[in-house]
C-alpha cells in the first residue's frame, strides 16, 4: 500500500520533472532570449539566446536579485520590476553592450489562484529590423530630396514656359492640365482677361504627344462671320471674288497633327458656331470651293473670359457647341485669389528685366506690401506691364512707393481706410484726408525738402507745414 502510494507519487514527480525538462528544452531552442524571475525579483533562469543578445552570462544573473543587478549596473533598466509592481506587461526597445537592438517584453506569471508568482521576459533581436528601418528612413529622405530637386527643376522649366506660381490653386490647376495633356479631348480654359489662358494652352501642348507638331492660335473675336470658313477651313483658287489665285490653307489644316487654340471662343459669331461644331464632330473641314472635305488630325483647345453658360442662356452661344468644347474644363483663378503668386511673379518679371539690361533693381518692402494687396483687375498681364513701367521710370537701385501709379496708391489708401474703419460707412472728408496725407508723405520722401515739395504740389510752404502738422507726418530729411 505504502509502496504503491510511493510509486504513484513517484510517477507524478517524474511527470512533473519531465514537463519541466521539456519546457526548459523549448526555452533553450528558442531564438528569443528568455529570462525568468520569481515574485521577489530573483533571476531563476536564463537561456543561451538571452546571453547572445545581451552579452551577459548565465552565471552573472541566475540567483541574483534584479534590484542588486541594477545597483551593480549589470542592467541599466529592469522592466521585470515594473511588471512585479503593476502586474501588467511592459515592452521596451533597448540596445545592449553587444550593439544589438532588442525588443523586450516582460509579462506577469500568475498561478491558478491569480496570484503573481513571477515574470517571464522575452528579448528578441531586432537589429536587422532596426537596420532596415534606418535604411528605409534614409531612402525616404533621399526620395524626398530628389523629389524636391525635381520639383525645383520643374519650376525652373515652367518659368521658361512662362508659368510662375507658388499658390496651391495654381498647383492644382497645373496638375489637372498635366493629367489632361496626353489625351485628345477638348479642353475649355476659362478665366479673366490677363490670367494666362494662352500660356496654359501652350503648356498643355508642350506636354502632349503633339508637342512636335504646330501650335496655332486663332483669335475668334477678330474673325467676322463671313470670313470664318475661308480663314479656318481655307479655300480653293478663285473660290470667290478677291480670293487668291493660289488658294489658301485654312488654320485647321495648318494645325494638322498639332494643336489649335480657339482663343476668345465666346466672341465667335453665332453664324459660325454650327460650322465649328461640325468640324469638332467630324474632324474634317470643307475648304470654300472644294469638291470634298479634308480630314484633319488636331487637338482642340478653347479659351474664353466670358461665362459661356450665361451666354447659352441668353441665346448668344449654342448649347451643343458649349458641351462639345467643355469636355475638360480648366478655370484659371484671378490673381487676387492667389496672392502667394503676386510677389513670385513680380520677382520673376523684374529678374528678367535685370538680366536683359544688366541692372540689379529691387522692390522695397513697402512696394511689395502694396503690390501684394492690390486687386489686380488686369491680372498677370497688368502685373507684368507695371513691373516693366516701374523698371523704366526708376532711376535708383530700388523701386519705391514714389514710382507707383496713382490708381494703385489710391486703392491702397482706400484699403487702409476701410481696414481702420472696420467696414463702417465711409466719410468723404476722412478718405480725402488719408489721400492727402499719402500724397504729401510721398512727395516729401521724393524731394527731401519742404520748399521743393510745396512747389511741386503748388501750395505755399506755410500751408504745407500746417497740413504736415495736421496729419502728424514725420519729417526725416537726410
DSSP 92-152: EEEE-TTS-EEEEEEEEEE-TTS-EEEEEEEEEE-HHHHHHHHHHHHHHHHHHHHHHHHHH
106 touches 82 (CB < 8 A): yes
Mean pLDDT score, 129-138: 83
CA nearest neighbour of 74 among 88, 61, 58: 61
Q: Place 101 in a pLDDT band, splitting at 50, 70 and 90.
A: confident
Query: What's the pLDDT tens digit per position in 169-193?
Result: 999 999 999 999 999 999 999 999 9
Query: What whole-number distance in Å separates Cα of residue 35 and Cα of residue 50?
Result: 7
Mean pLDDT score, 210-228: 93
Query: What whole-number distance in Å separates Cα of residue 28 and Cα of residue 26?
Result: 5
Query: What whole-number distance in Å separates Cα of residue 387 and Cα of residue 392?
Result: 9
Cell representation of residue 373: 494687396
Mean pLDDT score, 212-221: 95
Q: Residue 328 pLDDT > 50, yes or no?
A: yes
pTM for the full predicted model: 0.59
Mean pLDDT score, 385-408: 87
216 touches 258 (CB < 8 A): yes
434 touches 417 (CB < 8 A): yes
Mean pLDDT score, 23-33: 86
- Phi, psi for residue 384 in degrees, rounded to 5: -65, -45
Task: Find cell 496654359 and name the residue.
Answer: 200
Query: What whole-number distance in Å separates Cα of residue 109 and Cα of residue 115?
Result: 8
Query: What whole-number distance in Å separates Cα of residue 469 and Cα of residue 18?
Result: 106
Cα distance between the two ends of the chain = 123
Distance of CA 336 to the CA centre of its chain: 18
Q: Residue 4 pLDDT > 80, yes or no?
A: no
Residues of the chain above pLDDT 90, percent = 49
Answer yes or no: CATH 3.30.450.20 is held by domain 31-125: yes
From 1.20.20.10, 3.40.50.300, 3.50.50.60, 1.20.272.10, which CATH number describes the 165-333 domain? Answer: 3.40.50.300
Mean pLDDT score, 100-120: 89
> What are the angstrom distances between the C-alpha of 107 and each of 24, 49, 123, 266?
18, 18, 11, 76
From 3.30.70.20, 1.20.1730.10, 3.40.50.1100, 1.10.8.60, which CATH number describes the 339-470 domain? Answer: 1.10.8.60
Q: Residue 163 pLDDT > 50, yes or no?
A: yes
- Specify the pLDDT at position 419: 55
- Domain limits of the chain? 31-125, 133-160, 165-333, 339-470
Distance of CA 177 to the CA centre of its chain: 15
CA nearest neighbour of 199 among 168, 163, 169: 163
Mean pLDDT across the chain: 85
Task: Find cell 459660325 and name the residue.
Answer: 272
Burial status of residue 272 (CB atoms within 10 A of its CB: 0-12, 13-18, 19 or more): buried
Sheet bearing 101-110, strands edge to edge = 43-46, 33-38, 116-125, 101-110, 90-95
- Specify the pLDDT at position 423: 46
- Specify the pLDDT at position 26: 84
Task: Find cell 528579448 and name the residue.
Answer: 123
Amino acid at each position: 500500500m505504502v509502496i504503491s502510494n510511493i510509486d504513484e507519487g513517484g510517477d507524478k514527480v517524474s511527470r512533473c520533472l519531465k514537463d519541466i525538462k521539456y519546457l526548459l528544452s523549448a526555452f533553450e531552442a528558442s531564438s528569443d532570449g528568455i529570462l525568468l524571475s520569481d515574485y521577489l525579483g530573483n533571476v531563476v533562469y536564463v537561456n543561451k539566446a538571452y546571453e547572445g543578445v545581451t552579452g551577459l552570462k548565465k552565471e552573472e544573473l541566475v540567483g541574483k536579485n534584479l534590484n542588486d543587478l541594477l545597483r551593480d549596473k549589470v542592467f541599466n533598466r529592469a522592466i521585470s520590476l515594473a511588471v512585479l509592481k503593476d502586474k501588467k506587461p511592459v515592452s521596451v526597445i533597448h540596445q545592449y553592450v553587444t550593439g544589438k537592438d532588442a525588443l523586450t517584453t516582460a509579462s506577469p506569471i500568475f498561478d491558478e489562484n491569480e496570484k503573481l508568482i513571477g515574470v517571464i521576459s522575452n528579448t528578441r533581436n531586432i537589429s536587422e529590423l532596426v537596420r532596415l528601418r534606418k535604411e528605409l528612413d534614409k531612402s525616404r529622405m533621399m526620395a524626398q530630396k530628389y523629389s524636391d530637386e525635381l520639383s525645383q527643376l520643374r519650376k525652373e522649366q515652367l518659368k521658361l514656359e512662362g508659368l510662375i506660381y507658388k499658390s496651391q490653386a495654381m498647383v492644382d490647376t497645373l496638375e489637372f492640365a498635366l493629367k489632361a495633356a496626353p489625351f485628345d479631348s477638348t479642353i475649355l480654359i476659362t478665366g479673366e482677361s490677363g490670367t494666362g489662358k494662352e500660356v496654359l494652352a501652350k503648356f498643355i501642348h508642350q506636354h502632349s504627344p503633339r508637342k512636335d507638331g504646330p501650335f496655332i492660335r486663332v483669335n475668334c473675336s477678330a474673325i467676322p462671320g463671313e470670313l470664318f470658313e475661308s480663314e479656318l477651313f481655307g479655300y480653293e483658287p478663285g473660290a470667290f471674288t478677291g480670293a487668291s489665285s493660289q488658294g489658301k490653307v485654312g488654320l485647321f489644316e495648318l494645325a494638322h497633327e498639332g494643336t489649335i487654340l480657339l482663343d476668345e471662343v465666346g466672341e465667335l459669331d453665332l453664324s459660325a458656331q454650327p460650322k465649328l461644331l461640325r468640324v469638332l464632330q467630324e474632324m474634317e473641314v470643307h475648304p470654300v470651293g472644294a469638291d470634298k472635305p479634308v480630314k484633319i488630325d488636331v487637338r482642340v483647345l478653347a479659351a474664353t473670359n466670358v461665362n459661356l453658360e450665361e451666354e447659352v442662356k441668353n441665346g448668344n452661344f449654342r448649347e451643343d457647341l458649349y458641351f462639345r468644347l467643355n469636355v475638360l474644363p480648366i478655370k484659371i483663378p484671378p490673381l487676387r485669389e492667389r496672392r502667394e503668386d503676386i510677389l513670385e511673379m513680380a520677382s520673376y518679371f523684374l529678374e528678367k528685366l535685370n538680366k536683359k539690361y544688366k541692372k540689379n533693381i529691387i522692390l522695397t518692402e513697402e512696394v511689395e506690401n502694396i503690390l501684394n494687396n492690390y486687386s489686380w483687375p488686369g491680372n498677370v498681364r497688368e502685373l507684368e506691364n507695371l513691373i516693366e513701367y516701374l523698371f523704366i521710370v526708376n532711376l535708383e537701385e530700388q523701386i519705391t512707393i514714389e514710382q507707383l501709379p496713382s490708381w494703385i496708391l489710391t486703392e491702397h489708401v482706400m484699403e487702409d481706410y476701410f481696414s481702420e474703419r472696420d467696414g463702417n460707412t465711409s466719410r468723404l472728408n476722412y478718405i480725402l484726408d488719408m489721400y492727402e496725407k499719402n500724397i504729401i508723405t510721398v512727395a516729401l520722401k521724393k524731394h527731401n525738402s519742404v520748399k521743393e515739395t510745396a512747389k511741386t504740389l503748388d501750395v505755399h510752404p506755410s500751408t504745407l507745414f500746417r497740413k504736415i502738422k495736421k496729419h502728424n507726418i514725420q519729417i526725416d530729411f537726410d
